[in-house]
Structure 1
Amino acid sequence: MEPLQFFKRWFATVSQAGRSVVHAGASGLEEDARKKVLLVNTLCCITAILAFAVGYVFYRATGLPRIYIPAAIEGALFTFIIALNGLRRYGAASVGLLLVHCAGALYFSMLLGQLMNFSLIVVFLFGLCFLVYSQKRQRILGLAATAFTLVFLELNFYFHFFSPIEISLRNQFLFRWIAMPSFLLFDALVLYYYIRENKRLFQQVKMVVFKTTHELRNHLTSNSILLELLKNDAKENPDLERIRPYIDQLSVINAGMSNVVSNVLSMGEIEGGKMDELENHTFHIRPFLNNIAGIHRIKARLKGVVIKLHIDKGIPPIIVSDSHQLNIVITNLLSNAVKYADENSEITMKVLTADAFFRISVSNQCPEIPGDKLKYLFEKFFTAKTDHQEGSGLGLYIVKNIVDNFGGACGVKSNARETTFTVKLPLKTGHPCNLPEEHDNYIYRMENALVLFAEDDLMNHRLLFNLLQSFGCTVSGSINGGQLIETLGQCNILPDCILLDAQMPEMGGLQTLRYIRSHPVFQDIPVIFITARTDNKDELLEAGASAVVPKPFDKKTLFSVISRHLQSVNADHY
């Protein structure tokens, strides 16, 4: 047998044996319990090997059996702890791990005195208590054992209960340079496991936040569609006009919830360095600002607060900017102003020109914000709220990051009379020919357009069906991509448009899109995603999506996107 093949076989055998030792007693356990068994076995295996090896090397250098024999016993005890795990005596094994480490630290520290860098061992032992023990009682006992070991050795250092052995200077250097890397290895192992567990915890929290915001966006979408249908009914039926105030209040509540979810997702994008690039839209600035102010006026009235909007005559009627990001900035500023305004007071929002920029200022009457707090207001999670006021501390942080992304600036000043937040953004005049079609004053009709959609949330499914029908569309709904493809294959006439949710059971939106784009008969049908996810927009567009509409959406947005991508149907406005 060639030496290389022999080495490979030997290494494979040793690796397999090592895996068997580390996994002793771990089979059949739940994930958390299994990880603790693997941790205990790994630490015991490493410590046993070091005890045998370091003890033997030091024995050969000094000829002192008082070092090697206890080291060999320590190695044997750690091997026995692995056997306890193999016998599924997990409690005894985890307790034994700490006790043997404490006993070894006590013995060798008394034997070797200051040669033992006990501070490194203490860090390891304290960390071990939190890694291995999950129950409060176990942790307290483990910490007590570690503290006792530390206190006893400190007392021994001062009162010399046990005198250390005499070792030559050469052997002292030998021991320090053998022992210190071993102690550092133990600390590094504890740190590694802590970092790994924190990453796992972070991923779990991230997944919970993602699932929660996904569910919230589904519910908000249901609310948005339902509110649009209620508005239509109230407009067409004079007897329902009396419920208009309630519809307006529900719209404000829904907008507030959407803003909270949007802030959480925006924070995730900012922290992950994945903030959306700015997209230029051409739009009328005055209706845009009046609409945002109008939504907040409804909530402000509950506090007796009046919102006044002043737009400088020098502001062009049409501008080019990212309307979505600008909406987030103004919404957060106005929400903040309404939240902290004194009752029966006034909020003033001014939009003024300033060279190649326009400046938006929002002023409210509220208690003066101390100067030492002003400079922190745009930081994450910082808020100047009082005990009876709620606030996440995200709104202004997101405002600053968006404004920075625009290449603008933001500031705040406060005195006893009022507090004013100001943002300065680039001003670019738009041209009327670049304006998208406006639908505010029209009934939305897409007569005879055939639209297929897939949405697994049953409430959203039903409401989206009703909304599309209110547009005049012929509609067919599915609850997943597989069902939609089956329906598509049975169509005598190709649909004019397909709407897909991204997250669906059995066959998700992206998989469905790829099938449609790969099929020669279906590949040219516009496919629009309506999704609660915001992190995979580029992936969907690269795969062939015609557009991505984030949840929650409004009727105007959905109608505009669908009508823009219809193949053979004209969107008629009456």
Structure 2
Amino acid sequence: MKVFSFVASIIATGTQGLSDEQKQRISINNALCFTTGVLAIVMGFIFWLITDKLQILIPAIIEGIGFFFIIYLNHLKKYETAAICMISYHAMCVVYFGVLLGTQVEVVLALLFMISATYLVFNKPKSILIGFCITVAGLLVTEFFYYSGIIEPITFSHNVTFFIRWVCIAFILTLNTVCILFYKKTAIRLMEALKERSGQLEKANHSRKIFLQETSHEIRNPLNAIFGIVQLMRLDLKNGRTEETLPALVDNLYVASFNVKDIINNVLELSRIEAGQLDAVNRKHVHIRHLLQGITGIYEYVAITKTVEIKLRFDDNMPDLVFTDDTKLSQIVNNLLLNAIKYTRSQSVITIDCGLRDDKWHISITDQGGGLETENLQNIYRCLEADRNAFMEGTGLGLHISKHFAELLGGTITVDTLEGISTTFTVLFPAKDIVNRHTPAPQRSMPTPRQFAGKHILVVEDDKMNQAILRNFLQNNGATVSLAGNGVEGLEQAREQMPHLIILDSHMPKMNGREMLFHLKQDETLRNIPVIIASGDAFTETAEMFRREGAADYVIKPIEFTALRQVLDKHLNNNIPVNPIVG
């Protein structure tokens, strides 16, 4: 066993810290050099004992030492040099022993081995070409000496010649066998990788099919509601029946639109998870009461349209601060709370409890939707792993993402149900997240109508409908609004009349949002204006890129006005926003 371990360590010389492909090529080079070196010395002694010729023994020993030196070159990280030396040294030895022993022994057959070895130790076309040229040069030189007869080969008796011939054949067959074994090993590895990849692709295709089915199913319900409500509103407007029916229809339209936005956000987030693009966890001190109050405030209106009340309760022993990623924690609570609103009964109460439990802190959300059936609990978090029937209708995306983010933050999600009564989802996090000091919640003035009176806001947006929506919202809150259709117009207007704040679309003709932001930050008179990027790109990387380049904040389309009002309040009135998640 020690011998095998010693040989394995020699073959692995110089492979530390390299990629699998590089390791394989260097190991092959080392293995061929080690095998050739040992065989050359052993056969040199055998030939010397039979023929008593030092012309065979001494070059054979030198040959073996030379191949061992090539292994040392790999140890020195001179990989390309070692590979070329291995091929060149084989060619030199073939020429020497071919000329010395003559045509009685077919030493040139070793050149076949060199062709195989060239493909094993090189991967660049240029290097492979060099290997072929060395091999051909060795063959031509040997044949030249055969043909010219300049050097007279050593002659042996018939029996000695026969023996030497078969020993040489065994030598060449051994080298070719080593090459074949490496080719076989490589082929097996590639086949296994191919089978694994095929299995992954098959699973991915199945997952995409389920993904599309579930996404289509989830998004069609609110879209159908939007389409139906708009048709009813048109009929009522045509018939003059608006005072009685329009308020309720508008409320329902808002909720359906909110659900579509939430589904799209979850679909984008899920695509990142399935692609293996895990967000880094950005922990900081978060005032947990303030965070949950903000989330509750945003979802209260959605709940009111279903005549549902949301109650937020904190245990007395729950500290104010936790050290966590506020963005991911907000997404967890958003998904769980929206599901609770969706499945609870009308005229019921949803409770959000936050406190300490043993060695963990928790957030529990309880609805009164009648509870889950026991057989459905085991499939509650499954997403894209089973057939459609294994999915809890309409809950798969949000719960799967919430579970993923909870685990990313070192926590878990549990579910408890009272059949026919209620369902409670609890997110548990380690107690080490808790910061044991009292910090009062930041004071924030509640948004009031016309809270931006006297403020001039420039909206740079190429879509006319989005312009109209933002203008009406901002004017209803007291702001003076200027509109621009692209970055060029936006810069001109900003220079003519400096605004207090700019809402900037990211994708526009002539000059996009990123380019305009760059020019704003280069202008001494405009660089301090807060710029809010409004984009349909919901990926975290895009938001972080804009913030690095000078944007004050980032909101995701479709824009939720409660969240936008908080962002504007932050930058125009120097107030801290309730919820860090926008969009």
**Does 2:280 match 1:272?**
no
Paired letter, 2:518: R
Q: Are residues 1:539 and 2:539 paired?
A: no
Q: CA deviation at 1:540?
A: 1.9
Partner of 2:255: 252
- What is the Cα deviation at residue 506 of structure 1? 3.3
Shift of 1:179: 3.9
Root mean square deviation of aligned Cα: 5.6
Q: Give, in angstroms, the shift of residue 438 of structure 1.
A: 1.2
Tell whether the 8 Å contact from 2:506 to 2:534 is kept in structure 1 after alignment.
yes
Q: Which runs of 5+ in 1 are unaligned?
A: 1-56, 73-166, 569-574
Check whether the contact 1:453–1:500 (CA below 8 A) recurs between aligned residues. Answer: yes
Q: Secondary structure at the match of 1:467?
A: helix
How far apart are 1:257 and its partner, in Å?
1.5
Q: In the alignment, which residue of structure 2 is the partner of 1:517?
A: 521
Tell me, yes or no, if the aligned pair for 1:503 and 1:531 is still in contact at 8 Å. yes
Q: Secondary structure at the match of 1:245?
A: helix
Residue 335 of structure 2 is matched in structure 1 by 332
Distance in 2 (alpha carbons) for counterparts of 1:192 and 1:511: 44
Spell out the pairing of 1:168-207 with structure 2 (5 A cutoff).
169-181=170-182
> Which secondary structure does the structure 2 equivalent of 1:412 belong to?
strand
* 1:483 and 2:489 correspond: yes
Per-residue deviation, 1:359: 3.6
Q: Secondary structure at the match of 1:536?
A: helix
Whole-Å separation in 1 of the counterparts to 2:522 and 2:196: 43
| Aligned 1:80-95 pairs, distance under 5 A | none
Counterpart amino acid of residue 516 in structure 1: L
TM-aligned CA distance change 1:189 to 1:535, over 3 Å: same
Partner of 1:474: 480
Distance in 1 between residues matched to 2:391 and 2:381, nearest whole Å:
21
Using the TM superposition, give the Cα deviation of residue 378 of structure 1 relative to its aligned residue in structure 2, in angstroms: 3.9
**Residue 471 (structure 2) aligned to one of 465, 468, 490:** 465
Q: CA–CA distance in 2 between the matches of 1:244 and 1:430?
A: 44
Which of 561, 564, 574 in structure 2 is aligned with 1:558? 564
Partner deviation per Cα, 1:205-229 (whole Å, 9 max, x = no partner): 9xxx9xx9xxx9xxx9xx9xxx9xx
Amino acid at match of 1:263: N
**Unmatched runs of 5 consecutive residues or more in structure 2:** 1-93, 116-167, 575-583
Deviation at 1:484, TM superposition (A): 1.4
SS at match of 1:505: coil
Write the letter of the residue equivalent to 1:527. V
Aligned to 2:163: none
Written as runs of structure 1 = structure 2, the 5 A alignment for 1:110-189 is 169-181=170-182
1:354 maps to what in 2? 356
Q: 1:195 to 1:384 in 2, by over 3 A?
A: closer
Q: Which residue pairs with 2:512 in the alignment?
A: 508
Shift of 1:336: 4.0
Inter-CA distance 477–310: structure 2 relative to 1 (3 Å threshold): closer
Partner amino acid for 1:178?
Answer: C
Give distance in 1, aligned partners of 2:387 and 2:187: 44
Name the TM-score, length of structure 1 as normaliser. Answer: 0.52
Q: Given residue 174 of structure 1, which amino acid in structure 2 is its aligned partner?
A: L
Q: Which residue does the alignment assign to 1:29? A: none
Question: Once the two structures are aligned, what percentage of the paired residues are identical?
Answer: 22
Q: How far apart, in 2, do the equivalents of 1:175 and 1:287 lie?
A: 73
Deviations 1:528-573 (A, max 9, x none): 21223332223222222222223333223323323433499xxxxx
1:436 — aligned with what? 444
8 Å contact kept, 1:310–1:349? yes
Whole-Å Cα distance in 2 between the matches of residues 438 and 567 of structure 1?
11
Describe the superposition over 1:362-419 as per-residue Cα deviations: whole angstroms up to 9, x where unpaired: 2543452339x63x64455358974796347332232223334555442124575565
What is the match of residue 34 of structure 2? none
Name the counterpart of 2:401. 398
Higher mean Cα deviation, 325-334 or 540-549? Answer: 325-334
1:289 is matched with which residue? 296
- The residue type equivalent to 1:177 in the other structure is V
2:382 equivalent to 1:365 = no
Shift of 1:196: 12
Task: Please give the alpha-carbon distance, in whole angstroms, between the structure 1 residues aligned to 2:550 and 2:335.
Answer: 34
Aligned pairs, number: 385
Q: 1:295 to 1:320 in 2, by over 3 A?
A: farther
User: Structure 1 242/320 Cα, relative in aligned 2: closer, same or farther at 3 Å?
Assistant: farther
Match for residue 243 of structure 1 among 237, 246, 254: 246
After TM superposition, the score normalised by the length of structure 2 is 0.51
Letter in 2 for 1:333: L
User: Aligned pair in 2 of structure 1 residues 196, 402: CA closer, same or farther (>3 Å)?
Assistant: closer
Contact kept in structure 2, 1:346 and 1:365, CA below 8 Å: no
| CA shift for structure 1 position 349 | 3.6
Residue type at the aligned position of 1:434:
P
| Structure 2 CA distance for partners of 1:482 and 1:176, relative to 1, 3 Å | farther
Residue 317 of structure 1 deviates from its aligned partner by: 12
Q: Write the distance in 1 (CA, Å) between the matches of 2:191 and 2:341.
A: 49
Q: Is the 8 A contact 2:449 2:476 kept in 1?
A: no
Amino acid at match of 2:177: R
Contact 1:403 1:409 (C-alpha < 8 Å) held by counterparts: yes
What do the CA deviations read for 1:261-284 (whole angstroms, capped 9, x no partner)?
A: 222333355542225635636638
